[in-house]
Every structure is written in structure tokens, then in C-alpha cells.
Amino acid sequence: MTQLAPSGHSVTDLIRERLVPFPGRHFLSAVDLNPPAAIALLDLADAFVDLNRSSAKALDLMHGQTVMNLFFENSTRTSSSFEIAAKRLGADVVTMPVQASSVKKGETLIDTAVTLNAMKPDILVIRHSASGAADLLSQKVGCSVINAGDGRHEHPTQALLDLLSLRRAFGDVGNLTVAICGDVAHSRVARSNVALLQMMGARVRLIGPPTLVPGDADRWGCEVFHDMREGLQGCDVVMMLRLQLERMTGALVPSTREYFRFWGLDREKLGWAAPGARVMHPGPMNRGVEIDSDVADDLTVSLIQDQVEMGVAARMAVLASLAVRRGADR
Amino acid sequence: MTTLAIINARLLDPSTDYDGPGSIVIEDGVLSEVNRGSWLVQADQVIDAHGLCLAPGLIDIRVKTGEPGAEPRETLKSASQAAAAGGVCTIVVQPDTDPAIDDPAMIDFIQRRGAALGLVNVRAAGAATRGLDGQRMAEIGLMAEAGALYFTDGDRVIANSRTLQRVMSYAGTFNALIACRPADPWLTEGAVAASGELATRLGLSGSPAIAERMGLERDLALVEQTGARFLVDQISTAGALETLARARGKGLDVAVSVSINHLCFNEVDIGDYRTFYRLDPPLRSEADRQALIEAVRDGLIDVITSAHAPAPAEDKRLPFAEAAPGAVGLETLLPAALSLYHEDGLDLLEVLRPLTAGPAALLGLESGRIAPGLAADLVLFDPDAPVVIDAAQLKSKSKNSPFDGRRLQGRVLLTLVGGRIVHDAR
């Protein structure tokens, strides 16, 4: 729900009005938020969306501060999303090609962290293939840490941007039934979304083959389904997850064609969901594996493009409010 | 529309425990009337059974052929002819062909080829792993849609427990049945006989009975964890039966099959190195055989199979340890099973249940019983007629029958599949 600035009020004023300190020093997990804090971040992000759509996008909220992007795993969209967000807030951004440097020389995560910490960044954005890497890093550095994805654990800014997309599409998120479909077992996106959506009152279902949906996931308070037809019944939102190619060749799923036949979202399966259901995907998509292009590219049902746009705004909100928090702590 | 009646029969329907006089009428391939007692029926053609046994056609869920890949050994046609002659109306072929049946198109191929023959119902089991490699899960969902009745790697044990766990867990989505041979793959490696004094004396490497129990323990633990529908394929030892009984006592719902060979023979039969008795699993002790017969009597065995495994002479005329394992069994299945009735005191319904209603219930087939509205898959047989098995006369392309020269009782007179007479030896 976009709240437009009252007349005579600029977007910049609106942003300054809505600027609140982040609830903690780090953003490592969706549970670092609480419902009022999440709503405040969404309100702020809404204002950033307006800013991003205007021609003058640059602010000086983080002038003089350094944001360091530390991506131990390949990622184009998330790292550029963070980079753009930080730059629009006026921060200095350093994106470290970690894969190419110290790690190859045998440096441990902690050593890298301590080294970088000595360069006095204000915010570290980290992605790492090991679950818990962001937590570990946050204990060793003086700056704020944003988890941009740690192994199969969490990806909290993704959940926040998904929530923003949903709120803008539906208004109230609390009445929604959201189906998260596919490789839940290996998905940090799923874990963060389950936590945040449930916190905001939405009902969450998990759908996928038993090899990809952990058997004990029903204890997360989600209903678990292995059959798309049953699971999608009455769902307002169908959130598809990416299936890693190496998991499709017989280890967890027999083949891509079998996966698509039973769990790939096409028109027919989408028809089983509630009328007007919207489709989401954190990207990058495997077309013809977990999602049919016909559905992914239909802007009347797909929120996938929105999600990318909301990513920048949501990350600006997180960065800006973390900066406020740091200013208040000092 | 012509109708066919069979009157004056001794009707045997294990699904309803009926063993008594009766008659049936077939219209358009379907049972239109099933009468218990003596009734007058009208039909275009009437067959008088003269009090002989009329039972549901047998269902054999473990049939190997050589098609595709080894047609000189056995084709779907020769296997179907053997089945028809044996009163077997439905065969489920095993996936260990070349190429393996691990693809929905292969399931389709087998079913079409079988249907085109117009003999018996030919169905297929799909491979549990691709190319039976024991590593990569096969397309269980697509094959189930195409008509695969269950999934198995046949004689190969899926040694990797993680693979089996995933297969079981994944199959649950489709409520698909997984079948596994219970065996520890390392203890049974290279074994050609049952471990024991006899194998030692003969100088043959033995497979210990505990190997079966150990394999079964693992499989059952995985079933317990994954909740899979599961068939213990070809149990052969008393020890494994005990393990199974214990698991069932804890509420685990698993089915079990036994091969006819292990109900009829024991390890002593390999005494003069006759390679027709080289089987996999190997023939066990007499105590094991007795325990298996008791289990059939107690209704603990869901399915008796022929374990039909054709092997041509060139694969059998070899020193015992070098010979191919397996025996043909489709044509001899019924008379061999009737030895449990003649020699071991089981009643006919107890013998027929794991050959008809048992496998039908396990595989969700409509057949295996005699009731109005069902396809007329029937066998008319004389349970007492003496026969001497002559392997050379068998319809299978391969003649490796361990029953060769044996005197049995029980002759199949008529086999009907979908109301059509596919075998007539009256």
C-alpha cells in the first residue's frame, strides 16, 4: 500500500519522518524483527520505492559511512541490490570479491572478518555457503552485520522484500495463505519467509516432494503437503523456490521433467489456488523446471519483477535504519 | 454379444473365503453372474466343469523375461504363453532388462507389447534407481502414471542406505510400493549356496542366513522412518521371518513374498551340483523351508511368486558356481503350489490366496477374485491330476526348470483372460 506524500511534503521529508532505529545491532534472521518494527520498515521502504521511481534518487542519509559487501558465494542480483541501495543512501560501498582473494589463500572466515573489521566499516553485508556464518561473523566485529544468505539457514532481507511486495499487492498480509513450494529443505528463503510471514499473521503451507520438504517442518507451524493440488487449494500466494540443478539428477528428485510434471508451477496448477492468486519467485528462475514461463511472465499474476524492485527499497530501509540505530548507540 | 458359462464348478474365491459349488456367466469379457450353489444358467456356450476347481487367474508379480535385450532367453510372447499354460492371468515383469525399465516410455512399451499379444495381462515393475545403478532415483512418479505397479531394483540390493531412504521417502508422494530383496550386499557377495555344512563340503561359497536378516533389519528401519509402502521381496530364512514378525508386532505394515522354489526345495537339492537348483537367494535348510510353509499357512506371506528367471542352456551348463542363477516357473507354479495342499496339509484357499487375492490387494489390482463386474480372469484346474514335468515341453524359451522330471499333482485345464480362452487343455 503506497502512501503518497501529503502535498507540500517531499519524498525526502517522508523518508526522514519514517526513519526509525533498527530493533537490533545486526540483521541476521527474520526473528530479529517484531511486528511493529517490520511494519515501520515496510512503511519506510514504501517511501524509498517512491524515491527510486523519481529521477533524483540520491540521498545523503549514510554520508561518510562504509558498507562492505562480503560475498563468499556467487551472487549477482543480491550483491548489486545491496550495492545500489547503499549508494542511493550516500554510503561508500566496497564489494569484496572474496572468492577470488583471501579464501583461496586459506584464510579462515574469522581471520578475514578481523582483517576487514580493522578497516572500520560501518555495515558488513555477508553471504556465505555455511549456515551460521553471519552469526559467527557478528560476534567478531564491531560493525553491524546484515545476513545476505547463510547456507540453508536464513536470508532475512529476501523475506522483508517479499513481505513488501505482498503488502503492496494485497494490502493486509495477515489474511493471506501463502504456499511455499519446492526445495524447502535447502532454502534459506523459505526459512526466513516462514518466520516473517507467520510473525505477520499469515498462514504458511509448504509443498514439495518428501525429499525436499523436511518431515519435521510441520512443527514450524506450517501445514506440509506433498501434492500440489491439495496444497494449493485456497492459497492466495504461490511462492516458488529455486531447485538447484545438482539436486535434480536423481539424488533428491529423479529428473527435471518429473519435477516439472508434479511440482512445476504452470497454468493448470495455478488454477488450483484461490482465484486471483499471485506468483512469487526469489530468482534466478529455472524456467520449465519449477516454473513455466507462461506463468512467470504474466504480469497479471506474477510479482517476480516487483520483487526485484522491492529488493532495493527494502534493503535501503534496512541499511538506513541500521545506520540510525548505530548513531543512537553512539 | 455371446455369453459363456462355466457350470458345476468347485468355486474357490480366497477373497471371500468361499470354497463350494458354483457357476459363473461371462458376458463381454466380464463376469456378469457369479452363483454360489447349484443354479440354472443360460448362455450361448456352456462349459461343464464336472466339479473341478475354478479359481481367479493367478497373478505372478515377479517374472523376468529377456525383452528387451535378451530375446533368445525369453520374450514377452514366450513368457505370456507359459503364463497362459500355467493358469497365470497377470504377469508383472521385472525391470532388469537391457535397457532397464526405468523410464515411463519403457513401461508403456511393455504394456503395449503385452496387450498386442492378446494372451495374458502384462504389467511391469519400474526400476527404483536409474539403470538399476543403486545411486540415482528413477522417475517413480512418471512411471507410476504410465502404469508401473511397483518399484524395485530386482535382484540388486540398494546398498547405499541414503539412496534407499530417499527412494522410499519420495515414493510416498505417489503411494508407490517399493520392493527390496533383503540381503546384506557384502555378506552375500559371490555366494552361490546357503552357508552351512553342505556348502562347505561341496566347496561352494555360502551366503549366511544372517545376511538376509541384516538386510531386512535395515530395510525395515528405513520403512519405519519414511512410512513407505514396502514389499520384502523373496524371504527365504526362518530368522528373517522372525524379524518380520517382530516388526509387524510393533505395527509396521509391510508385505512379504516368497518364491515357490523355496517352498518346494531345500539345500540338499543342490547336492549333485545340478545348476537348475542354483537360485538367488540360494536354497536354504529344511528348517527354513518348513518355517516358510508355516508362514503361508498362518497367512503371514502375502504373495507367492514363480520367481520366473529364464536362463538358456549355455548359461546353465556350467560348473555350479559359474552358472546363472534362477529357474523358470510360470508353467509349474500352480502344480508346485498344490504340493502344499497335497503334502503339507494346507487347504486350497490358503494355497491360492497368496497367488491371487494377496498380490491383487498389494498392487491395487481389480483382479484376483471372483465377483460380478470384474474382468473374467479365471483358471479351471484339476487339483489331483498327476503330472510329470518335462522341461522340454515347457513353453518358455529357456528350459531351466528345477521341477524337470518331478511328479506333481495339479493340471491346468483352462485359462481365461478377460473372458477369452487363452489356454485349453481339456
Q: Which long-range contacts (CB under 8 A, 24 or more apart) does B387-396 make?
A: B387/B335, B387/B411, B389/B332, B389/B335, B394/B82, B394/B328, B394/B331, B394/B332, B395/B78, B395/B81, B395/B82, B395/B85, B395/B331, B396/B74, B396/B78, B396/B79, B396/B82, B396/B308, B396/B310, B396/B328, B396/B330, B396/B331
Q: Cα–Cα distance between B94 and B190 in angstroms, integer?
A: 22
Cβ-based contacts of A248 with chain B (< 8 Å): none
Q: Cα–Cα distance between B78 and A178 in angstroms, integer?
A: 55
Among chain B residues, CA nearest to A251: B136
Q: Cα–Cα distance between B423 and B417 in angstroms, integer?
A: 9
A154-178 b/e with 16+ CB inside 10 Å = b? bbbbbbbbbbbbbbbbbeebeebbb
With an 8 Å Cβ cutoff, is A257 touching chain B? yes
Report DSSP letters for A68-83, one per residue.
EEEESS--SHHHHHHH
Q: Which of B292, B295, B180, B155 is nearest to B237 (CA)?
A: B292
Q: Cα–Cα distance between B67 and B65 in angstroms, integer?
A: 6
With an 8 Å Cβ cutoff, is B38 touching chain A? no
- Which cell numbers hold the place of B388? 510329470
Amino acid B410 reads G
Give me the pLDDT at residue B85, please.
98
CB B130 within 8 A of CB B137: yes
Using CB atoms, which residue from A209, A215, A251 is nearest to B136?
Answer: A251
Q: Which of A246, A258, A259, A261 to mutate to test the interface with B (most CBs of B within 10 A)?
A: A258
Is residue A109 classed as helix, strand or coil in its secondary structure?
A: helix
CB A97: neighbour CB atoms within 10 A?
Answer: 10
Report DSSP letters for A117-143, one per residue.
HTT--SEEEEEESSTTHHHHHHTT-SS
Q: Cα–Cα distance between A45 and A64 in angstroms, integer?
A: 22
Cβ-based contacts of A254 with chain B (< 8 Å): 130, 136-142, 170
CB B372: neighbour CB atoms within 10 A?
Answer: 12
CB atoms B170 and A210 under 8 Å: yes
Q: Cα–Cα distance between A194 and A181 in angstroms, integer?
A: 12
* CA atoms within 13 A of residue A291's CA, in its CB half-sphere: 27
Q: Cα–Cα distance between A286 and B220 in angstroms, integer?
A: 37
pLDDT by residue for chain A (330 residues), tens only, comes to 445 545 557 899 999 999 999 999 999 999 999 999 999 999 999 999 999 999 888 899 999 999 999 998 888 889 999 999 999 999 999 988 776 555 556 678 888 888 888 999 999 999 998 999 999 999 989 999 999 999 999 999 999 999 999 999 999 999 999 999 999 999 999 999 999 999 999 999 999 999 999 778 888 899 999 999 999 999 999 999 998 776 666 689 999 999 999 999 999 999 999 999 999 999 889 999 999 999 999 999 999 999 999 999 999 999 999 999 988 877
DSSP single-letter state for residue B70: -
CB atoms B166 and A262 under 8 Å: no
Instruction: Tell me how many degrees the CA angle B12-B406-B408 measures, rounded to the nearest 5.
Output: 20
Using CB atoms, which residue from B129, B139, B173 is nearest to A210?
Answer: B173
Give me the pLDDT at residue A5, please.
47
CA B348 to chain centre: 17
Identify the segments of chain B with pLDDT beneath 70: 1
What torsion do the CA atoms of B156, B157, B162, B168 make, to the nearest 10 degrees? 80
Task: Give strand ranges (E) for B64-222.
Answer: 88-93, 121-124, 126-127, 151-152, 177-180, 193-194, 206-207
Amino acid B67 reads E
With an 8 Å Cβ cutoff, is A261 touching chain B? yes
Give me the pLDDT at residue A249, please.
67
With an 8 Å Cβ cutoff, is A209 touching chain B? yes
With an 8 Å Cβ cutoff, is A245 touching chain B? no
Residues 26-85 of chain A whose Cβ lies under 8 A from any Cβ of chain B? none
User: pTM of this prediction?
Assistant: 0.92
CB atoms B170 and A211 under 8 Å: yes
CB pairs under 8 A between A and B: 49
CB atoms B142 and A257 under 8 Å: yes
CB atoms B139 and A227 under 8 Å: no
Using CB atoms, which residue from A210, A250, A258 is nearest to B136?
Answer: A250
Is residue B207 classed as helix, strand or coil in its secondary structure?
A: strand
Cβ-based contacts of B170 with chain A (< 8 Å): 209-211, 252-254
> ipTM more than 0.90?
no
CB atoms B142 and A251 under 8 Å: no
Q: Cα–Cα distance between B393 and B115 in angstroms, integer?
A: 25
- The H-assigned helical ranges of B277-347 are 286-297, 313-316, 333-342
Using CB atoms, which residue from B130, B141, B142 is nearest to A250?
Answer: B130
CB A99 within 8 A of CB A126: no
- Which cell numbers hold the place of B163? 539412496
Q: Which of B170, B175, B229 to mutate to test the interface with A (most CBs of A within 10 A)?
A: B170
Amino acid A227 reads D
Strand partners, A59: none
